[in-house]
Amino acid sequence: MTKGVVAGIIANLVMVDVDGPVAQNEICFIKLKKVPLMAEVIKVVGEQAYVQVFESTRNLRVGDTVEFAGHMLEATLGPGILSKNYDGLQNDLNKMEGVFLKRGDYTNPLEVDSKWDFKPLANVGDRVQAGSWLGEVQENWIAHKIMVPFKLNGKFTLKTLAGPGNYSLSDTIAVLVDSDGKEHVVTMVQKWPVKLAIRAYTAKPRPFKMMETGIRTIDSLNPIVEGGTGFTPGPFGTGKTVLQHALSKHAEADMIIVAACGERANEVVEIFTEFPELDDPRTGRKLMERTTIIANTSNMPVAAREASVYTAMTIAEYYRSMGLKILLLADSTSRWAQALREMSNRMEELPGPDAYPMDLPAIISNFYSRAGYVFLPNGTTGSITFIGAVSPAGGNLKEPVTESTKKAARCFYALSQQRADSKRYPAVDPIDSYSKYLEYPEFIEYLSENISPDWLENLLFAKNLLVRGKEAYEQINILGDDGVPLEYHLRFWKSEVFDYVILQQDAFDHTDSSTPIERQKYMMKIVIDIVKGQYDFDSFDEVNIYFRRLINVLKQMNYSEYMSDDFKKFKVELDEILQERIVAVTA
């Protein structure tokens, strides 16, 4: 292996004089006294490699020795990843000793001594390739597939395959023979370089199945699909993290991967503390059992922050290859972009807009393209839905990270400062936000067949209602309450009903925090009927008071358990209020 010595140090950028070949993105270990500091090559000039160190470089000296590893940064893939808490380099945080993180404390992502009940799925003599399922073990509630390693190219013949039984991670599960007659031993564990996409699928069609999130402003207005991409830009305090946490709790997915990338440690602690306690209604188990956390918070090393999103994506791709529905969340991808900026500045590269690296748009779109809905070689499907939070500097959506992400992601959930200030949570702007999937005929067909025949129609009606409501509001503000026809007040208040009852959703209320599709349909119908109704009022003041009452009762319904006695009681009260004023329900 190539060796080197430290020749220069600027914060976590280290220049290393090397004695042999090095590859871009190759991993190396710098010896600081006895402690190995992991680093990654990010530039090579002549005999000198520029490496970004995944640790603090305090006390490092020129002349310290470096050993290169001969491979890129790799994720370790095998049973036992579910429920784990990793750092950005996939070290198991729970295995580290002491209160404080120690440099060079690299821990095993899997449980070396664990044993798994293996069930073969293939037969000796089968022709197999990277990603083929050889067997499965039960990991929590997931049938974890043991696959032909993704690194193996070409076709192989299955020479031996372990029978049903209890095996440890390092036991030989299968032996494969390639076309040259060479044998390859397969265990339950494989490695994959995180910066490369795993392509063990046969096709990547356009995604078309709705992913139910339980978040009304998404499902009922701008739905996302299984295998889709979305992002949530918003100034600080507008609710990006609360929204990500809500998605991780309530979305219909087999597995959730949360990448806490350069944000607050206490937010991860919240997941650590809550998820092992919270029930997952889908499985009857605890939420933590379908969740893996990659925590590289803002105070952890910057270079590892950059790696963290790739580690998370690689784990997602691994589980997708098992035919699972994965939801990957990253909070926030801006911190990852900033990590790139810090290094690029230290290397004195020619800066692009706002001093970000020139190739930022390409890096972002490359990453988003790893999500998607895929057909696996055996005909089954899997998906990675990716939703990233973006933290625009100064709340300005014209900054490079937001602009680049807008080109890469198909759903845009813009969090508005104004809505957050008036506590209209989630603060997703209903007018600026969009879901490009609503343009896919196959998705429209899916909606009408699987969700409800009038889902799309209602959704478009609601969007129009919100725009008209906003226009009416602006007119009222310019001309005064008296200066506009009564109709304007009605129009405004009808859109307020939709806003208060469908869009606003209290993430901290046990009942309101998640709304299953059945309930969304029910409430949507009520609200649309109210909006389509014709009412009899003499003055705008009456409109004002009347609609406040309506909203109040409807909100009480949102806070009550679906179809409970309370819920029904409020429904009766609602109908009574409607009787007072409604003249006709227009179709």
Ligand X SMILES: Nc1ncnc2c1ncn2[C@@H]1O[C@H](COP(=O)(O)OP(=O)(O)O)[C@@H](O)[C@H]1O
Number of residues near other proteins (by CB under 8 A): 76
Which of 555, 562, 581, 582 touches other proteins (CB under 8 A)?
555
388 interacts with ligand X by CB under 6 A: no
Based on CB atoms, which residue is closest to ligand X, 105 or 506?
506
The residue whose two tokens read 């950005």 is 88
User: From residue 144, how far is each of 80, 104, 136, 558 by CA, in Å?
Assistant: 9, 31, 5, 38
Range 461-520, binding other proteins (CB under 8 A) = 477, 480-483, 508
240 interacts with ligand X by CB under 6 A: yes
Which of 33, 348, 508, 510 touches ligand X (CB under 6 A)?
508
Please provide residue 134's backbone torsions phi and psi, each rounded to the nearest 5 degrees.
-95, -30
From the list Mg ion, other proteins, ligand X, none, which binds 351 (C-beta under 5 to 8 Å, kind-based)? other proteins
Mark the segment that binds other proteins (CB under 8 A) among 100-108, 149-157, 194-202, 217-225: 100-108
242 interacts with ligand X by CB under 6 A: yes
Range 238-257, binding Mg ion (CB under 5 A) = 240-241
Based on CB atoms, which residue is closest to other proteins, 280 or 342?
342
Whether the Cβ atoms of residue 9 and residue 57 lie closer than 8 Å to each other: yes
From the list Mg ion, ligand X, other proteins, none, which binds 94 (C-beta under 5 to 8 Å, kind-based)? other proteins
Minimum separation from the CB atom of position 237 to other proteins (A): 5
Cα–Cα–Cα angle for 248, 271, 323, nearest 5°? 40
426 interacts with ligand X by CB under 6 A: yes
Mark the segment that binds ligand X (CB under 6 A) among 101-109, 289-297, 485-493, 506-514: 506-514
Contacting residues for 368 by C-beta, under 8 A, at least 6 apart: 229, 386, 388, 405, 408, 409
Site pattern 231..250 for other proteins (x: CB under 8 A): ----xxx-------------
Whether the Cβ atoms of residue 421 and residue 234 lie closer than 8 Å to each other: no
Strands 85-86 and 35-45: unpaired
414 interacts with other proteins by CB under 8 A: no
From the list other proteins, ligand X, Mg ion, none, which binds 59 (C-beta under 5 to 8 Å, kind-based)? other proteins
- Judged by DSSP in three states, 186 sits in strand
552 interacts with other proteins by CB under 8 A: yes
Which of 34, 58, 182, 398 touches other proteins (CB under 8 A)?
58
Based on CB atoms, which residue is closest to other proteins, 109 or 235?
235
Counting every residue, how long is the chain?
Answer: 587
Return contacts of 390-393, CB within 8 angstroms, 24+ apart. 390/231, 390/232, 390/233, 390/234, 390/240, 390/332, 390/333, 390/334, 391/233, 391/234, 391/235, 391/236, 391/240, 391/332, 391/334, 391/335, 392/233, 392/234, 392/235, 392/334, 393/354
Whether the Cβ atoms of residue 293 and residue 258 lie closer than 8 Å to each other: yes
Minimum separation from the CB atom of position 418 to ligand X (A): 14
Please report, as a single letter, which amino acid is at residue 34: K
Which of 112, 185, 269, 431 touches other proteins (CB under 8 A)?
269
- Judged by DSSP in three states, 161 sits in strand
Number of residues near ligand X (by CB under 6 A): 14
Residue 97: CB atoms within 10 Å: 8
Minimum separation from the CB atom of position 340 to Mg ion (A): 20
Mark the segment that binds ligand X (CB under 6 A) among 79-87, 122-130, 237-245, 401-409: 237-245
Q: Is 343 left (phi over 0), alpha (psi -120 to 50) or beta?
A: alpha
385 interacts with other proteins by CB under 8 A: no
Which of 21, 164, 237, 485 touches ligand X (CB under 6 A)?
237
98 interacts with other proteins by CB under 8 A: yes
397 interacts with ligand X by CB under 6 A: no
Which of 250, 341, 370, 410 touches other proteins (CB under 8 A)?
341
239 interacts with ligand X by CB under 6 A: yes
Return contacts of 559-564, CB within 8 angstroms, 24+ apart. 559/506, 559/509, 559/511, 559/512, 560/511, 561/511, 562/511, 562/516, 562/518, 562/519, 562/522
User: From residue 526, how far is each of 212, 230, 344, 364, 564 by CA, in Å?
Assistant: 20, 29, 54, 41, 17
Based on CB atoms, which residue is closest to other proteins, 299 or 366?
299
Sign for the pseudo-dihedral over CA of 375, 376, 382, 388: negative
Give the residues across from 464 on adjacent strands.
none
394 interacts with ligand X by CB under 6 A: no
Minimum separation from the CB atom of position 574 to other proteins (A): 13
Whether the Cβ atoms of residue 505 and residue 512 lie closer than 8 Å to each other: yes
Minimum separation from the CB atom of position 266 to other proteins (A): 6
From the list Mg ion, other proteins, ligand X, none, which binds 532 (C-beta under 5 to 8 Å, kind-based)? none
List residues near Mg ion by CB under 5 A: 240-241
List residues near ligand X by CB under 6 A: 234, 236-242, 425-426, 505-508
